[in-house]
Structure 1
Amino acid sequence: MTKPLKNLWGQFLFQGRGILPTYRLLIVYLILSIGLIIGTAWGITWSVVILLNGLILLGSLIDLLFSAKRSQLIIHRTLPEEMERGLSCNVQITITNASGSPIRFRLVDGIPQSFKRPFPLHGLILNDTTSVLQYETKAAVRGKYKVTKLHFRYKSTIGLWEKQTTFEIEDTVKVIPDLTETKQFLESAQQFLLYEGLKIRKQKSGPGEFSKIRNYVVGDDPRKINWRQTAKLREVMSNEYEPEHGKYMTILIDCGRMMGAELSKGNRLEKALEAAITVAAAALKNGDYVSVLAFSKEVKVFVPPAKGMEQLQTILHSIYNIQVDSNESNYAAILHYVQTVQKKRSLFLLFSDVRTFLHEEGALSYLKRLRRRHLFLMIGIEDVTLLTRIKDMPETVQTAMVKSMAQQQMLIKKREKLKWEKQGLQMIEAREEKLAATAVSHYVDIMNRGLL
């Protein structure tokens, strides 16, 4: 295809600037052509043919001349600075028509191909008025995107020609992980965990920070009765304690090859990010220090420990754009690194693939040393395919072979997990939809039991 033909084809695809004939003009010429063919039976001369074509062409050019000019159109786009992956949001486009005639238009916004694209959008703008247009979109891939172009096509007054122009409107949007579970936890931690079939476990009786004085209820430790307030109010009052604040937690997020395995919604890394942000919000709300380290073959992102809900924004803006690498994760190097940057006793919470991690013999020696000072917990996502194959009925020889192989893989995994857990390294797996709730529940349980 030659360059002029490519440019012409690009105009039909909402690219660049240009003037295109509409279906109305083509129909007019089609009717004229049919009339001239019929008129040849009455001996129409060439001068009449040329005159009629010239009149129609002149009329269409006059229609084009009096149509709105590009300088008479003003367009603004209002795009949110942040969008959550997979959630819909509205984009607003304001169009001002400063010409003396109404225009019918079609537009295509230059949002990335990974976004939902409900285009072209149609509309009518009266003369000397401003119209607001909205469309709904959602992003499937996290990252930082620049939206620079908006393609606008509008018809002339009679509608014989269509003008096309491109507006340069630069906006930047960040697509961050889905924060639905984080918001649910911040609204009500207890309801969030109960909804997921879990609950915040009762705190172990022991020392902690004083919280408040309340009425004594059946089951309270008699040693916590506040006798001074009991005598003053003439009813039994009890002291309530909560776990000590200011503990340290380091969240490790694996970005290696196996974290790219697809799930029903997104992949393992997407679910790990959502769960990591939720458990970070839980720790920060509790007054603890939280640091985050994302890695694969080497360290990708490290957020130093800090407390306060401002740290949640720091973590979110640091890890929202991390992607799965094609390399295998180097657990030994990362565990050595994290021990050098985290000297204080801390809870290391690792989001990774359990099956891959179990075969990393080189990481075992580092974890033994890490266990002397820190507490280690690994959380992975259950392999739904493996569990499904185990539950299959062996109706055929092939099904029986697949089932036996799946059972063998499960036995190997359990044996390896038992070996690691004997070293005091706890590993758990959860369904993808309950990963965040499981992580938060185990964090609350560890803090309530005073294991740090």
Structure 2
Amino acid sequence: MKKFFQQYYTNLFLTGRLFTALGFCIVLFLLKFFFAWLGDIPEIATGTVAVLFFIDLFILYRSGNWIEVKRFTAKRLSNGDENPIQIEIANRYGFGVNVRVIDEIPFQFQIRDKDFKLHLKPAEIKSIHYNLRPTKRGEYDFGFIRTYVSSPLGLISRRYNFDGAKVLPVYPSFINLGQYELMAVSRYLTEFGIKKIRKLGQSSEFDQIKNYVGGDDIRTINWKATARKGGLMVNTYTDEKSQNIYCIIDKSRVMRMPFEGLSLLDYAINASVALAKVAMLKEDKAGLITLSETIGAIVPADRKASQLGSIMNVLYKEKTRYLESNLEALYATVRSIIKQRGLLVFFTNFESLSALQRQLPYLKRIAKYHLLVVVFFENIELKDLSTDPAKDVEGIYHKTIAEKFIYEKKLMVKELNAHGILAILTPPQKLTVNVINQYLALKAQQRI
């Protein structure tokens, strides 16, 4: 018996039902002092509780593992998305049990424990489903799955500790990449927030010769093929392919600002992965450059099958830095590694017009050789503050300052456009959609 308790006492827990029964026995003993007719009832009740306790102990601690628990997750988690987690529980006891499951999830979620309660019939298997939404990239450690089992008597519970230790990497958002694939090939994009783009003129890259159908441009009729075939034949053209599409991500302190749990850097990374996916579906080459006070990672543009994985492997560990970004180094890097004209999408954030003007000379130099799109962010809280009615003088002051900053952001867009640089000013939650929309528009307008 001593060895038994030494082996199992750490996993033995007394329940509220047992304490209630013992309390009832104590009350009976107290009442016996005043009511002699109770006789041996307190002793009988206490003995009954003791017998039931040992019966409960025996049926729960019979040799063997009578409960089986497994956790099922994906090999990696998607940042900023709801990731499904499944726990499967099997009851091998010959009777129904009440089970409490505590899953030790990574500390980054700031949730002490995921706690579930359920009842399992004999030989029954049940699954628990829940979602986790990570807001930081990196590695997440899952711990034990603690399972507390009680018999129908419910006087004690036995704890099973299942080693569910697992380290999962959190990658840039990839769960919703499927919808962006559809956006790349569909002309009906309004359900994703993407407007239809009217093509200007025709692309110059020949695709095929086909039979004329009503609505085809008569200027594309191939008269030689028509003469040979005996029916109208037209040339069809497709968007130019194999263009260099580089996402340039600023990792400086301006990208640390949080929004709905994610930093601006996380939004930029998620948008870069989606844009790379769409660009490769359009048969362009996708590449990556990160920078802060120095140039960080460089992934040369390519469209091989493993390119997206290479980009995600680089991005999932990237973190913001505390110094200002060095655009002079960026210009030198762009000139040295990107020999062919391409589309450069620069994700950054300017909080003031003076900050933009300090970097503008380098942006103008880059724009001389490539089609440059600068993407920066609206401050949603300032926008909300500017629209809320002011209640006092201090409120008027805050509203005026907010409107000033919002107006400065619009001036930045005009300043960039005046120097031939495209600009996207976007709320963080619409970043991916707006960037892909701009890319598709530029493809349709044959600017890349």
Task: Report the TM-score range of the alignment, normalised by the length of the smaller protein.
Answer: 0.7 to 0.9
The two structures, once aligned, show a CA RMSD in angstroms of: 3.6
Partner-residue secondary structure (3-state), 2:144: strand
Q: Does 1:187 align with 2:182?
A: yes
Match of 1:65 in 2: 58
Which of 95, 103, 111 matches 2:105?
111
Equivalent-residue separation in structure 2 for 1:214 and 1:70 (angstroms): 78
Contact 2:353 2:408 in 1 (8 A): no
Match of 1:440 in 2: 436
Q: Which amino acid aligns with 2:329?
A: A
Equivalent-residue separation in structure 2 for 1:422 and 1:69 (angstroms): 80
Partner-residue secondary structure (3-state), 1:81: coil
Correspondence 1:327-346 to 2 at 5 A? 327-346=323-342
Correspondence 1:47-58 to 2 at 5 A? 53=46, 56-57=49-50
The 3 A distance-change label for structure 1 pair 120 and 400 is: closer
Correspondence 1:370-449 to 2 at 5 A? 370-388=366-384, 398=394, 400-410=396-406, 412-415=408-411, 417-449=413-445
Q: Does 1:141 align with 2:135?
A: yes
Which of 191, 205, 208 matches 2:205?
208
The 3 A distance-change label for structure 1 pair 394 and 29 is: closer
Equivalent-residue separation in structure 1 for 2:360 and 2:134 (angstroms): 37
String of CA shifts for 1:27-55, please: whole Å, max 9, x gaps.
Answer: 11111111111112356999997887566
Equivalent-residue separation in structure 2 for 1:267 and 1:291 (angstroms): 22
Which of 269, 291, 302 matches 1:306?
302
Correspondence 1:214-363 to 2 at 5 A? 214-215=211-212, 217-218=214-215, 220=217, 222=219, 224-232=220-228, 234-263=230-259, 266-355=262-351, 359=355, 363=359
Q: Which amino acid aligns with 2:74?
A: P
Stretch of structure 1 that moved more, 186-195 or 278-287: 186-195
Partner-residue secondary structure (3-state), 1:191: coil
Match of 2:145 in 1: 150
The 3 A distance-change label for structure 1 pair 35 and 299 is: farther
Q: Does 1:22 align with 2:23?
A: no
Equivalent-residue separation in structure 1 for 2:43 and 2:145 (angstroms): 40
Deviation at 1:86, TM superposition (A): 4.7
Correspondence 1:86-125 to 2 at 5 A? 86-113=80-107, 114=109, 119-125=114-120
Contact 1:142 1:320 in 2 (8 A): no
Deviation at 1:300, TM superposition (A): 4.5
Contact 2:416 2:422 in 1 (8 A): yes
The 3 A distance-change label for structure 1 pair 188 and 235 is: farther
Normalising by structure 1, report the TM-score.
Answer: 0.81
> What fraction of aligned residue pairs are identical, expressed as a percent?
20
Equivalent-residue separation in structure 2 for 1:438 and 1:211 (angstroms): 32
Equivalent-residue separation in structure 2 for 1:221 and 1:321 (angstroms): 53
Deviation at 1:283, TM superposition (A): 1.0
Equivalent-residue separation in structure 2 for 1:393 and 1:125 (angstroms): 56
Which of 164, 168, 175 matches 2:159?
164
Where does structure 1 lack aligned partners over 5 or more consecutive residues? 1-15
Deviation at 1:147, TM superposition (A): 1.5
Contact 1:70 1:165 in 2 (8 A): no
Contact 1:352 1:380 in 2 (8 A): yes
Stretch of structure 1 that moved more, 169-178 or 286-295: 169-178
Q: Which amino acid aligns with 1:158?
A: L
Q: Which amino acid aligns with 2:420?
A: G
Deviation at 1:295, TM superposition (A): 3.2
The 3 A distance-change label for structure 1 pair 324 and 65 is: same
Contact 1:68 1:101 in 2 (8 A): no
The 3 A distance-change label for structure 1 pair 205 and 402 is: same
Equivalent-residue separation in structure 1 for 2:37 and 2:157 (angstroms): 32
The 3 A distance-change label for structure 1 pair 362 and 401 is: closer
Stretch of structure 1 that moved more, 255-264 or 100-109: 255-264
Equivalent-residue separation in structure 2 for 1:134 and 1:74 (angstroms): 13
Stretch of structure 1 that moved more, 69-78 or 394-403: 394-403
Deviation at 1:124, TM superposition (A): 3.2
The 3 A distance-change label for structure 1 pair 319 and 261 is: same
Partner-residue secondary structure (3-state), 1:424: coil
Equivalent-residue separation in structure 1 for 2:211 and 2:174 (angstroms): 35
Q: Which amino acid aligns with 1:57?
A: A
